[in-house]
Chain A
Amino acid sequence: MVAQIPSLRRYARALTGDVWAADDLVQDTLERACSKWRLWLVGTNLRAWLFSVMHNLFVNQMRQSAGGGQAAMLDIDDLADDLSAPASNPDQALDLQRCLLRLPPEQREVLLLVSMEDMSYAEIAKVTGVPMGTVMSRLSRARARFQSLLDAPARVLADPPIDHAAPTRAVTTLHRLK
């Protein structure tokens, strides 16, 4: 299970857009996985199971946190610091992550599981607990919306994000930072 931790961390980072929230989510996932150990059938895919545990926790978090979205927005600064590693063009990664956060969570999940984790559609259906048809339609919407977000960066900063309760004030601050 320890071998899965790096990719869990990376996926959580892209999912939450926040360094600390990501690692918190991973920790919760690992602890939950340990205590729900018996629900994992030996021989089934450990990786998929861990991702499904994380999915359930993430869904609960989204449901509970009204202010969760706000935290994501305010931590854009942290994110900028975090991206000092030369892995990719920092500005690009920042934009990419911002655009991701503007997708509804269920679309973000599917897009990441497909693109980042290379998970099969069938596996994603199991991990997220929805029929495959739903997975595919979420993927279509995710890719279409993601593309329009990427194509119009100026608009991204101007408009408030979809699923966050961020006040306009926070958005204006972003403008000034840029």
Chain B
Amino acid sequence: MNRKPDRPLSDDELHALVDGQGPLDDLAALQMRLADDPDAQARLAQWQRQRDALQRLHAQVLSEAVPANLLQAAQAGNAVRTSSNHWWRYGGMAAGVVMAFGAGWLANANWQKVGGREATAPSMASAQPEREFVRQAVLAHAVYAPEIRHPVEVSAQEQKHLVQWLSKRLDKPLKVPDLTAQGFDLVGGRLLPGEAGARAQFMFQDATGQRVTLYLGTMESVAAGVSGKETRFRFESQAAIPSFYWVDQGFGYALAGQLPRASLMQLAQEIYRQL
């Protein structure tokens, strides 16, 4: 069968083949054109060999124990915190470090043991309150969001009373965010126990019945002097319930719900904007 040979492959196309980058359809098409291009075939083989060799290079380093000085460097933020009581002066960096590294790193490893003491780095102790907060937010979501008859204690129909009641119990004037622009209506709220004081849960629902809960309360690990500017969003996904949490002026907030991360983040940002 006489077929007009395809044009030779460009460098960029060869790279894509060697590295397996790009849509599979494109790669398959490139493979077909490769059959007509012996020069490209030779180069591909060479580059593939290079790549394989580099994949193996220094592989033993990956299984070496991490040197202590590097571990310390990774936890430098915590050192700053424990060495001085006024950690908030460092722009909340230490707490931010703890939240990201503690929560991010340890969340993958030992989430189940969050109640007990874990024999790892000191960062564990300081990450504890944040992780515990999120854990409880997620638990509260898992317990109450599926409820059909009693999802909340006080419904949205008594919103004013709801807000007054929870503000009194949490000892902080609360504001319920308005998420109707995002398609979420308030279902209501409830009071929940917490370490440093009572906590509140607000539940929202969209037209499809999808629910998100906003869990909030005082964070006992945070000193009263924290500036309101120190806020970071942190994404967690525990027990398949994604959540975003942040700390603002000594208060923790966790938004949980079975939503795509981007949607959840949008809601979280909107809430943060309003509160």
Q: Footprint of B on A, CB under 8 Å?
A: 1-3, 5-7, 9-10, 13-14, 23, 26-27, 30-31, 34-35, 37-38, 40, 42-43, 46, 85, 87-88, 92-93, 96-97, 111-112, 114-116, 118, 120-121, 136, 139-140, 143, 146-147, 150
Give Cα A6–Cα B64 distance, bound, in whole angstroms. Answer: 7
Most chain B C-beta atoms within 10 Å of own C-beta, residue among A10, A92, A115: A115
Contact indicator A27/B70 (Cβ below 8 Å): yes
Cα–Cα distance between A2 and B261 once the two chains are bound (Å): 24
Q: Which residues of B contact A14 (CB under 8 A)?
A: 54, 57-58
Contact present for A97 and B47 (CB under 8 Å): no
Cβ–Cβ contact B54 & A3, under 8 A: no
- Name the B residues within 8 Å of A115 (CB-CB): 19, 50-51, 54-55
Decide yes or no: A10 and B101 within 8 Å by CB, A34-B76, A147-B50 being known contacts.
no
Contact with A along B47-78 (1 / 0, CB 8 A): 10011011111111111101101110111110
Query: Does B40 belong to the interface (CB within 8 Å)?
Result: no
B104→A93 contact, CB < 8 A:
no
Binding site for A on B (CB under 8 A): 11-12, 15, 19, 21, 46-47, 50-51, 53-64, 66-67, 69-71, 73-77, 91, 93, 96-97, 100-101, 104-105, 108, 232-235, 261, 265
**Chain B residues with CB below 8 A from A3, complex form:** 105, 108
CB pair A10–B12 under 8 Å, yes or no, is no
A166 to chain B, nearest CB (A): 22
- Do A6 and B66 have beta carbons less than 8 Å apart? yes
Q: Are A7 and B62 in contact (CB under 8 A)?
A: yes
Complex: chain B residue closest to A88, CB-CB: B56
B15 adjacent to A2 (CB under 8 Å): no
CA gap between A143 and B18 in the complex, in Å = 11
Within the complex, which residue of B11, B46, B93 is in contact with A37, where a contact is CB–CB below 8 Å? Answer: B93
* Majority-rule SS of A interface residues: helix
Measured CA separation A38–B231 after assembly (Å) = 10
Do the beta carbons of A96 and B57 come within 8 Å of each other? yes
**Closest CB of chain B to A80's CB: distance in Å?**
14
Best-buried of B19, B54, B69, B108 by chain A (most CB within 10 Å)? B54
Query: What residues of B have a CB within 8 angstroms of the CB of A116 in the complex?
Result: 54-55, 57
CB contact between A96 and one of B11, B53, B77, B100 (< 8 Å): that residue: B53
Check B74–A1 contact: CB distance below 8 A. yes
* In the complex, the 7 A-B pairs of residues with the closest C-beta atoms, listed nearest first: A30-B73, A115-B54, A10-B61, A85-B60, A87-B60, A34-B76, A140-B11
A42 adjacent to B235 (CB under 8 Å):
yes
> Which B residues lie within 8 Å of A146 (CB)?
50
Verify B53–A23 contact, CB threshold 8 A: no
Q: Which residues of B contact A118 (CB under 8 A)?
A: 19
Bound form: Cα–Cα A40–B232 in Å: 10
Report the minimum CB–CB distance from B96 to chain A (whole Å): 5
Contact, CB under 8 Å: A139 / B15? yes
Q: Which of A23, A34, A93 contacts B97 (CB 8 A)?
A: A34
Query: Is the beta-carbon distance between A30 and B46 smaller than 8 angstroms?
Result: no
Q: A34, B73: Cβ atoms under 8 Å?
A: yes
A92–B104 alpha-carbon span in the complex (Å)? 38
Q: Given contacts A2-B101, A23-B70, A146-B50, is CB(A38)–CB(B96) below 8 Å?
A: yes
Given contacts A97-B57, A150-B50, contact A6 B15 (CB under 8 A): no
Complex Cα distance, B243 from A43, in Å, reads 12
